[in-house]
């Protein structure tokens, strides 16, 4: 890879391939879709009509285990109206994805507002040896995805800078980190808010079949840990084998750069980071000491179990406390926080960023609750399960088809939780009745959802990445980024699907039992 020139050069635009033209066509189609909240409202109207028709046509199913006859309840009835008016508020405030996100964002809000997350990412990127620059950049991106905004607004720009300082194309650094942050969204070494959100939705879907079923936020944890390294290796190979060679052939007009900001921390920031990380590690060890022993105080008092224990129930709270504590220590020692009421400012700013999410979750909660009350999900699940049983497809083929479907839908509907709120009530029970656990179905969904995040212009941060690339090359466009990210997307989808097939085939647990 030759060093990026400092001169601006006008070159003919890159001719777009059929793949890029197809994806841009998807972009134009996707842009015509309504906002996600309105999409759920339209879906509510649709299930009201469908439930009424199903009741008229006496659509029913037979539960395979209890032999109970399941019938559809019409939502176009006074009974449904009375039920909804009595439960609309409860549907929202008890919706599984709402509470955990609000709590965990209080802590992550402090960590981001104080500068702790930014300093941690800068330190990680600056400490990478030249020989491991690509791998380190990707894995930092993957780890930063636990606090989504920090990954996009800190890690990706810094990756461009550090690649430029290393004499490599800054665009290679940006796309490699983007692949880690967004393509590797379902991989991490830590459990984050997304795990709690998806597990909550999966639990509600599974309860259509088994009212006591609970999916833990740690349901995919072992798989996530291994995925972190697999995705990082795959992205490193793609960067070296396809992306950087492609960049040398692309007619890009590189711009002369002004002085780039330093990745180095000031002595005060460095000291603050060391102390705050030490405090974070100490708290983590303290929690581990209360969980790992058989008589640990955070285990279930009667059974000694970890799964149904105060530790699991309070995992989101523990994450919030640890992130918030690290943020407070860093903020005080770095001078960002002069007064403790500034800590509250960080939490309030985090809550402001959730305004759109809460609007979306209100309509999603009503959709899920109405769908459940109508019994459409259960009837569809048992009939769909029967259809799949008649086809007699291998379990792994069922999973592969579901992964592909999730990946395709992600091209036009960006929100992971919004899509899962629609898909889970149908596919979790359906596959559950075919011997595929909700945990496996959730993992398959996350693979498909993450793999195509990086090639859909409908992803909220996609325009930001294009803008970051345009700082270095003036004629970068949506097509350029899609073309560069397509190899990552295809490689992730293939490698992850094969990994899931091997994992399930061998019978390894996806997370703590």
Percent of the chain with pLDDT over 90: 25
Closest CA to 225 of 263, 195, 259: 195
Q: Is 254 helix (H, G, I), strand (E, B) or coil?
A: strand
User: With 70 as the cut, is the pLDDT of residue 21 above it?
Assistant: no
The per-residue pLDDT for 74 is 93
Determine how β-strand 69-71 pairs with β-strand 60-62.
Answer: antiparallel
The rounded Cα 291 to chain-centroid distance in angstroms is 27
Q: So what's the pLDDT on residue 23?
A: 46
Domain ranges for the chain, please list them: 97-506
pLDDT of residue 224: 93
| Radius of gyration of the chain from its Cα atoms, rounded to whole angstroms | 24
Please state the rounded mean pLDDT for residues 339-352: 88
Distance (Å, rounded) from C-alpha 268 to C-alpha 264?
11
Q: Measured between alpha carbons, how far is residue 153 from residues 65, 112, 158, 188 in Å?
A: 50, 11, 9, 19
Q: Please, how many CA atoms are within 13 Å of residue 464, restricted to the half-sphere of its CB?
A: 15
Mean pLDDT for the stretch of residues 53-77? 80
What is residue 3's predicted lDDT score, i.e. its pLDDT? 43
Out of 201-205, 260-264, 490-494, least confident range: 260-264
- In this prediction, residues 146-175 reach a mean pLDDT of 77
How far, in Å, are 368, 381, 385, 508 from residue 436 at the CA level?
Answer: 21, 13, 11, 14
Mean pLDDT of 120-136: 76
As a three-state string, the secondary structure of 481-492 is HHHHHHHHHHHH
Dihedral class, residue 83 (left if φ above 0, else alpha if ψ from -120 to 50, else beta): alpha
Helix (H, G, I), strand (E, B) or coil at 192: coil
Query: What is the average pLDDT score of the chain?
Result: 81
d(CA 112, CA 149): 9
For the residues 136-144, what does the mean pLDDT come to?
87
Three-state DSSP state, 157:
helix
Rounded percentage of the chain residues whose pLDDT exceeds 70? 81
Q: What is the DSSP letter of 264?
A: P
pLDDT at 457: 63
- For range 210-231, the mean pLDDT: 89
Task: Kindly tell me the number of DSSP H helices and DSSP E strands found in the chain.
Answer: 23, 2
Q: How far apart are the C-alpha atoms of 154 and 131, rounded to whole Å?
A: 22
Whether residue 88 is predicted with pLDDT greater than 90 in this model: the reply is yes
- Range from 173-177, 274-278, 476-480 carrying the lowest mean pLDDT: 476-480
Q: Which 3-state string (H, E, C) describes 312-373?
A: HHCHHHHHHHHHHHHHHHHHHHHCCCCCCHHHHHHHHHHHHCCHHHHHHHHHHHHHHHHHHH
Summarize pLDDT for 233-272 with one digit per residue, the tens: 999 999 998 888 888 877 777 766 665 556 678 889 999 9
Per residue in 452-479, pLDDT (tens digit) is 888 876 566 777 788 778 878 877 777 7
The lowest-confidence range among 26-35, 386-395, 419-428 is 26-35
Residue 17's pLDDT band (cuts 50, 70, 90): low
Q: How far apart are the first and last CA of the chain?
A: 47
């Amino acid at each position: 890879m030759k060093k990026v020139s400092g001169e601006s050069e006008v070159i003919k635009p890159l001719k777009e391939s059929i793949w890029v033209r197809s994806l841009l066509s998807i972009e134009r189609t996707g842009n015509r879709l309504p906002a996600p909240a309105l999409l759920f409202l339209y879906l509510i109207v649709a299930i009201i009509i469908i439930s009424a028709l199903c009741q008229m046509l006496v659509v029913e199913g037979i539960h395979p285990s209890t032999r109970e006859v399941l019938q559809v309840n019409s939502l176009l009835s006074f009974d449904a109206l009375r039920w909804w008016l009595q439960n609309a508020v409860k549907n929202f405030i008890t919706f599984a994805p709402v509470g955990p996100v609000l709590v965990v964002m209080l802590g992550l809000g402090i960590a981001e507002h104080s500068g702790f997350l930014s300093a941690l990412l800068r330190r990680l990127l600056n400490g990478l040896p030249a020989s491991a620059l690509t791998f380190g950049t990707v894995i930092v991106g993957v780890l930063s995805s636990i606090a989504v905004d920090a990954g996009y607004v800190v890690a990706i720009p810094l990756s461009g800078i550090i690649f430029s300082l290393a004499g490599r194309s800054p665009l290679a650094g940006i796309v490699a980190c983007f692949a880690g942050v967004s393509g590797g969204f379902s991989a991490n070494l830590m459990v984050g808010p997304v795990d709690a959100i998806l597990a909550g939705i999966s639990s509600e879907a599974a309860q259509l079949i088994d009212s006591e079923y609970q999916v833990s936020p740690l349901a995919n944890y072992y798989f996530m840990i291994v995925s972190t390294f697999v995705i990082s290796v795959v992205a490193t190979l793609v960067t070296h084998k396809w992306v950087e060679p492609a960049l040398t052939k692309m007619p890009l007009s590189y711009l002369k750069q002004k002085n780039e900001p330093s990745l180095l921390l000031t002595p005060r920031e460095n000291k603050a980071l060391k102390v705050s990380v030490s405090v974070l590690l100490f708290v983590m060890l303290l929690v581990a000491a209360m969980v790992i022993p058989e008589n640990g105080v955070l285990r279930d008092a009667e059974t000694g179990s970890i799964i149904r224990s105060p530790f699991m129930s309070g995992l989101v709270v523990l994450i919030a406390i640890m992130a918030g504590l690290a943020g407070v220590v860093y903020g005080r020692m770095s001078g960002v926080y002069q007064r403790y009421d500034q800590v509250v400012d960080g939490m309030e700013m985090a809550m402001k960023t959730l305004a759109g999410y809460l609007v979306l979750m209100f309509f999603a909660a009503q959709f899920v609750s109405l769908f459940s009350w109508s019994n459409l999900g259960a009837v569809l699940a048992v009939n769909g399960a029967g259809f799949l049983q008649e086809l007699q497809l291998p379990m792994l083929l069922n999973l592969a088809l579901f992964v592909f479907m999730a990946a395709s839908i992600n091209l036009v509907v960006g929100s992971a939780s919004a899509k899962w709120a629609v898909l889970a009530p149908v596919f979790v029970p359906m596959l559950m009745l075919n011997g595929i656990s909700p945990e496996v179905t959730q993992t398959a969904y996350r693979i498909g959802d993450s793999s195509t995040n990086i090639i859909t212009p409908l992803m909220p941060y996609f325009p930001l990445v294009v803008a970051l690339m345009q700082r270095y090359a003036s004629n970068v466009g949506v097509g350029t980024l899609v073309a560069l990210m397509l190899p990552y997307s295809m490689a992730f989808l293939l490698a992850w699907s094969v990994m899931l097939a091997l994992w399930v085939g061998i019978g390894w647990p996806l997370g703590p039992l």
